[in-house]
């Protein structure tokens, strides 16, 4: 382990998102009931809990009944989506990128409007995807990490514990982090690694990979993935010292026993979930992108009170430039692209 025990963890547990693009019906639908299908405790906990809380606002906000289904309790995922499609739901929300293809197939067969995470190329199907400004959030996190790292050494840990789209999203975020960190400190040292394969990575594997990065000198660690990223936080807790944690999606309060959260790039599904309801009612479902953006506060930066004021202000200044179009963030959808960026080979 590092002698001074400097290690800050940036854990990004992000679930998939993708570009929207599907056709809508000519006439609107009077929504009375929707189905929210999630994997229960089988993915990033903060992600599922906050999304469920949002749809539970719908009865009061829209006069809509919401049925929540824990798909982790069945081995027949297709059957679960067929059931909700045939139970009078006017909208189905498939809240896990691993569900996207199955949910889309059922939607095409039943005609029930379905919102999924992941890109949907078929513009004629009643399916819409959600996208997120992942690399932009990564850029802001990189600024804060670089400014907060006394040792000027950062680590990135990409966790392959979800869909292929998830992995692409993590790498896009990682590339943004690299660019943001270097904008704050051109001489910062960044070590990148990936753990897991084929959508599988255990908490213990992530813990051990995080410890290797810490032992290699990384003070700040950016861990991007789903449920398994808590292993990286456990590694940070074990080494104590001046460690801090920066996350994405939620504040990680349930796992943050020692208050190591420096900041978090938050994701909020409220803008896209609510817009989807309005669009189904208007007959325009899928005519516009469903995107979590900095502008609609679908993604934003959490100030935990431990976030250095100058670093936070610098990140917000970068946000203004990204929103105005005067700052472009590199696009790095693969590990090779991230490594090329780290080597100074361009955007990838």
Sign of the Cα pseudo-torsion (262, 39, 116, 172, in order): positive
Answer yes or no: do 241 and 337 share one domain: yes
Answer yes or no: do 106 and 199 share one domain: no
Answer yes or no: do 127 and 137 share one domain: no
Domain count, the chain: 2
The per-residue pLDDT string of the chain (348 residues; one tens digit each, 9 = 90 and over) reads 443 333 344 433 333 333 333 333 445 678 899 999 998 765 556 778 888 889 999 999 899 999 999 888 888 999 999 999 999 999 999 999 999 999 999 999 999 999 999 787 766 679 999 988 899 999 999 999 999 888 899 999 999 888 898 899 899 999 999 999 999 999 999 999 999 888 888 889 999 999 998 888 888 888 888 878 888 888 888 877 555 555 445 555 555 555 676 777 788 899 999 999 999 999 999 888 799 999 999 988 888 777 889 999 999 999 999 999 999 999 999 999 999 999 984 443
CATH code for the domain of 40: 3.40.50.2300
Answer yes or no: do 241 and 332 share one domain: yes
Answer yes or no: do 202 and 315 share one domain: yes
Answer yes or no: do 187 and 336 share one domain: yes
Could you tell me which residues come within 8 angstroms of residue 195 by beta carbon, excluding any fewer than 6 positions away?
Answer: 157, 158, 159, 160, 201, 205, 206, 209
Question: Does residue 24 lie in a domain region?
Answer: no
Question: Does residue 110 lie in a domain region?
Answer: yes
Answer yes or no: do 242 and 189 share one domain: yes
User: 60 is in which domain, residue-wise?
Assistant: 33-131+270-292
Answer yes or no: do 153 and 246 share one domain: yes
DSSP 294: T
Among left, alpha and beta (phi > 0; psi -120 to 50; other), residue 28 is beta
């Amino acid at each position: 382990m590092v002698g001074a025990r400097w290690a800050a963890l940036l854990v990004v547990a992000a679930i998939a998102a993708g570009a929207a693009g599907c056709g809508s019906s000519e006439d609107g639908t009077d929504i009375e009931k929707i189905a929210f299908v999630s994997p229960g405790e089988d993915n990033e906990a903060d992600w599922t809990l906050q999304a469920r809380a949002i749809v539970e606002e719908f009865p009061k906000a829209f006069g809509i009944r919401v049925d929540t289904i824990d798909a982790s309790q069945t081995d027949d995922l297709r059957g679960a989506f067929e059931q909700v499609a045939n139970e009078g739901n006017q909208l189905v929300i498939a809240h896990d990128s691993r569900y996207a293809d199955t949910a889309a197939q059922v939607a095409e067969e039943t005609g029930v409007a379905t919102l999924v995470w992941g890109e949907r190329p078929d513009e004629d199907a009643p399916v819409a995807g959600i996208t997120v400004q992942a690399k932009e959030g990564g850029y802001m996190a990189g600024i804060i990490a670089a400014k907060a790292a006394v040792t000027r050494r950062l680590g990135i840990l990409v966790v392959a514990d979800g869909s292929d789209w998830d992995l692409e999203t993590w790498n896009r975020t990682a590339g943004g982090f690299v660019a943001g960190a270097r904008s704050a400190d051109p001489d910062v040292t960044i070590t990148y690694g990936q753990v897991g394969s084929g959508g599988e990575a255990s908490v213990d594997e992530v813990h051990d990979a995080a410890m290797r990065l810490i032992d290699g000198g990384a003070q700040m660690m950016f861990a991007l993935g789903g449920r398994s990223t808590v292993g990286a936080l456990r590694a940070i807790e074990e080494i104590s010292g001046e460690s801090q944690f920066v996350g994405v999606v939620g504040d990680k309060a349930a796992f943050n026993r020692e208050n190591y959260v420096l900041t978090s790039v938050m994701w909020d599904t409220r803008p896209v979930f609510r817009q989807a309801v309005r669009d189904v009612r208007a007959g325009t479902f899928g005519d516009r992108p469903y995107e979590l953006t900095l502008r609609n506060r679908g993604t934003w930066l959490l100030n935990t009170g431990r976030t250095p004021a100058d670093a936070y202000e610098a990140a917000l200044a970068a946000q203004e430039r990204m929103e105005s179009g005067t700052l472009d963030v590199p696009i790095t959808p693969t590990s090779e692209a991230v490594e090329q960026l780290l080597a100074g080979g361009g955007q990838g």
